[in-house]
Amino acid sequence: MSSIATRTGDNGTTSLLYGQRVPKDHPQIEAVGSFDELNAALGFAKATCTDTARQAEIELIQHNLVNLMGELACAEADMPRYTASKFTKLADPDLARIDTGVAMLETQNIKFDGWATPGANLHAAALDLARTAARRAERRLASLPAHGRTVRPLLHHYVNRVSDLLWLLARQAEKT
């Protein structure tokens, strides 16, 4: 078994999907890192949740984020290769599932008084941490076109809706 410590990053660089080396503070690496943080925050929210259906919903989002990160970790020049690959890509049904979740929660008339104050309970706080991580990842994603990296609109839509969903889930969790 090979070691996780390859030492190839000791010089401050890392690899994109197909091997191109970039600085560790490259905008694409910052974006991928932000989505990785979101994935970890969702893992914490999932671990604090006692509802198995909700855990499964969060895990689906985590799987979608892995797919999204794969796409973001690809250099612009390698996008045709990535598009033709067998890698699973974020798709319209993934966004539709999040939209359905938002709509379902909105029918519950979740009450809130202005700005949320996180921390009513552990699960609500975990969801709010995930929500703020999602907003940071969204900002990193939005910055990529200024650095020459095209981003499919679906990726913007997805992370924006996930943030909305997490906000609603946190408000719902405050009531339990």
Please tell me whether residue 75 adopts helix, strand or coil conformation.
coil
> Mind listing the pLDDT tens digit for each residue in 33-62?
999 999 999 999 999 999 999 999 999 999
CATH number at residue 129: 1.20.1200.10
| Domain count for the chain | 1
**CA gap 49, 65 in Å, rounded:** 19
Q: What is this structure's pTM? A: 0.93
Share of the chain above pLDDT 90, in %: 84
Please check whether residue 3 lies inside any domain of the structure: no
Q: Which two tokens stand for residue 91?
A: 């798709």
Please check whether residue 131 lies inside any domain of the structure: yes
Which of 41, 6, 63, 9 is closest to 128 using CA atoms?
41
Please check whether residue 6 lies inside any domain of the structure: no
Please check whether residue 5 lies inside any domain of the structure: no
99 contacts 73 by C-beta, under 8 angstroms: no
Please check whether residue 1 lies inside any domain of the structure: no
Non-local CB neighbours of 7 within 8 Å, separated by 6+ positions: none
Please check whether residue 162 lies inside any domain of the structure: yes
pLDDT confidence bin for 147, thresholds 50/70/90:
very high
pLDDT confidence bin for 12, thresholds 50/70/90:
confident
Please check whether residue 88 lies inside any domain of the structure: yes
Domain of residue 47: give its range.
Answer: 16-108+116-174
